[in-house]
Amino acid sequence: MVLLVIVGVGYVSRPFVGKILAQAQPVTDLKVEKTVAWLDIGDTFGHALAKVALERTHQEVQYDAAYFKIDYPGGDVPGNRGTNTDVIVRSYRALGIDLQQLVHEDMKKNFRIYPQLWGAQKPDTNIDHRRVENLQRFFTRHGSEFEIPVEGVNMHDVAWGDVVVWLLPNGDSHIGIVVPGPEDRRNEMWVVHNNGEGPKWEDVLLEYQVIGHYRYDG
């Protein structure tokens, strides 16, 4: 009976091992810089996108989903403001890919095949690229979309620089970029995302239900 209890506790505790390790190895600016430098060695687009996403974690950003009127193309909300989608937009823009313009141009031609969730009658360059569902549709149409098995994301398909969408417990969609873990955990798949506290580098890829997995290199 004692053996069964020990085994049972070990099994139940498994989902929390990542959190314990993360607490034992706190993310620091130095670890970010070391991982960014290490990614510089790679020559794939995924390495480059993971690198600029990690660099976003140096930015102090207050979570703000308010509607802003911004320039087009190349427009952005104030640099100290943003949401989960702004992490994606700003990371791609650092590599010369303007999702604001690309999403808008696609929506102008194909407005009705984009999600009709906000009562809009036409595309809006101020907000369309800042909505998770629109980015999902764009990546599906112009990038690679990976099937999500019933049991969850297939980790064999996940690579650095991939974009992942989750369904949060409150019913909201959430989006982030896959990056390596720190130091001796570089072979692990972590994410950079903004879930209310600014861009963070965290071991939470499997923390929520994955509902979308995309790869887009422009």
Sign of torsion over alpha carbons 90, 93, 94, 97: positive
Q: Which domains does the chain have, with CATH numbers?
A: 27-215 (3.90.1720.10)
pLDDT the model gives residue 25:
54
pLDDT the model gives residue 4:
39
pLDDT digit string, tens, across residues 75-121: 999 999 999 999 999 999 999 999 999 999 999 999 999 999 999 99
Sheet holding 144-145, edge to edge: 144-145, 209-215, 163-167, 173-180, 189-194, 199-202
pLDDT digit string, tens, across residues 122-144: 999 999 999 999 999 999 999 99
Q: For residue 197, what are the contacts with CB-CB under 8 A and spacing of at least 6?
A: 63
Report d(CA 218, CA 214) in Å as an integer.
12
pTM, rounded to two decimals: 0.88
Report d(CA 38, CA 160) in Å as an integer.
13
pLDDT the model gives residue 192:
98
